[in-house]
């Protein structure tokens, strides 16, 4: 049985003290990673990750995921290298193309077609790798020599072609998954799909059949690396209950008929059931898709914690 990894993402920060307590509680629960998103109205990712690492002993930290269109690669390289240094080499870098048009509008950044945003993502990955591999900027060579100033570079040398932290690329579309297959150490299969005919960022939960298709597509392009990469999945909802079907019916009544009850109970992007049933679902998902790395949204962090313990009991 493979080693599973579990993580949660930060939804909001009420205060420094509650943030620290939450990070420490997650570490005690057995979580492996805390992720920060890159959305307007939420915490800035890199300061939050440094604070999370300072509050904990072993918890890795990461971005899930940075919107490549929001970042200048040279400035992003500085943020990544600094954060990897200050967290003692615990950083994982998640990158994506961005999908919320309103955020682009509010930030004054031009919204581009999906193909252009995907190309920006690939260019950013390539440029980060180049910057991490370089021996600093030539313009600072004299300063480094005269004052003994070290080159700013990441601690880790696993991702970005062996020059930076592990790279996670996640999404649902062909172009993003192809980029993930070609570049990433962690391939993320996102659980939210764009609703056709609706404004960008209007999402629905994907079905098991769609997950089959997306994993199959990524595996076709990852080639010989298929068993070397980690397969990550973002979980959209965790509901503990002794009556799975009744809870699924309530969820569909609340959010709309996005799929049938049976499809909702089958999808790997939602956990509904008892602790034992959810743990069994993790194992079924591994056998079906190869998923070994799970992220749950922050509000479900405590609810999902017993599942982590149970999965590891079964797996061992």
Answer yes or no: are the C-beta atoms of 125 and 133 closer than 8 Å: no
Answer yes or no: are the C-beta atoms of 272 and 265 closer than 8 Å: yes
Would you list the domain boundaries of the chain? 5-315
Count of Cβ atoms closer than 10 Å to residue 252 Cβ: 16
Name the pTM for this structure. 0.96
> Looking at residue 198, what is its pLDDT?
83
Answer yes or no: are the C-beta atoms of 272 and 239 closer than 8 Å: yes
In CATH, which superfamily holds the domain spanning 5-315?
Answer: Luciferase-like domain (3.20.20.30)
C-alpha closest to that of 70 among 119, 121, 36, 122: 121
> Looking at residue 191, what is its pLDDT?
86
> Looking at residue 93, what is its pLDDT?
98
- Per DSSP, the three-state class of 295 is strand
> Looking at residue 200, what is its pLDDT?
81
The one-digit pLDDT tens for each residue of the chain (316 residues) are 469 999 999 999 999 999 999 999 999 999 999 999 999 999 999 999 999 999 999 999 999 999 999 999 999 999 999 999 999 999 999 999 999 999 999 999 999 999 999 999 999 999 999 999 999 999 999 999 999 999 999 999 999 999 999 999 999 999 999 999 999 999 999 988 888 888 887 788 999 999 999 999 999 999 988 889 999 999 999 999 999 999 999 999 998 888 999 999 999 999 999 999 999 999 999 999 999 999 999 999 999 999 999 999 999 8
> Looking at residue 265, what is its pLDDT?
97
> Looking at residue 194, what is its pLDDT?
82
H or E element: which one contains 245? helix 244-255
> Looking at residue 34, what is its pLDDT?
98
DSSP string, 119-184: HHHHHHHHHHHHHHHS-S-GGGHHHHHHH-PPP---S--SBTTTTBS-EEEEESSHHHHHHHHHH-
CA distances from 51 to 13, 193, 204 (A): 11, 32, 32
């Amino acid at each position: 049985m493979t080693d599973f990894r579990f993580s949660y993402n930060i939804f909001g920060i009420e205060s420094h003290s509650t943030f620290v307590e939450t990070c420490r509680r997650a570490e005690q629960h057995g979580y492996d990673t805390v992720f920060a998103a890159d959305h307007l109205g939420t915490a800035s990712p890199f300061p939050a990750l440094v604070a999370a690492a300072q509050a904990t002993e072993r918890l890795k930290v990461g971005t899930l995921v940075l919107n490549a269109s929001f970042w200048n690669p040279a400035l992003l390289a500085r943020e990544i290298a600094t954060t990897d240094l200050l967290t003692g080499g615990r950083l994982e870098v998640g990158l994506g193309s961005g999908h919320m048009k309103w955020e682009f509008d509010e930030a004054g950044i031009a919204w581009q077609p999906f193909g252009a945003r995907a190309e920006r993502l690939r260019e950013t990955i390539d440029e980060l790798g180049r910057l991490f591999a370089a021996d600093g900027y030539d313009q600072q060579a004299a300063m480094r020599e005269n004052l003994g100033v070290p080159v700013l570079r990441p601690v880790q040398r696993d991702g970005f072609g062996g020059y930076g932290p592990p790279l996670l690329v996640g999404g649902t579309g062909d172009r993003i998954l192809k980029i993930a297959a070609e570049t990433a150490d962690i391939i993320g299969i996102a659980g939210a799909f764009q609703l056709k005919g609706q404004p960008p960022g209007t999402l629905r939960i994907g079905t098991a059949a769609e997950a089959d298709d997306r994993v199959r597509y990524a595996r076709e392009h990852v080639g010989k690396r298929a068993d070397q990469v980690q397969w990550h999945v973002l979980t959209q909802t965790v509901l503990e209950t002794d009556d799975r079907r009744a809870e699924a019916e309530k969820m569909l009544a609340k959010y709309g008929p996005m799929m049938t009850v049976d499809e909702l109970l089958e999808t790997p992007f939602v956990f509904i059931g008892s602790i034992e049933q959810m743990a069994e679902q993790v194992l079924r998902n591994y056998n079906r898709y190869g998923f070994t790395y799970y992220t749950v949204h922050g509000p479900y962090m405590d609810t999902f914690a017993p599942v982590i313990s149970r999965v590891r009991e079964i797996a061992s």
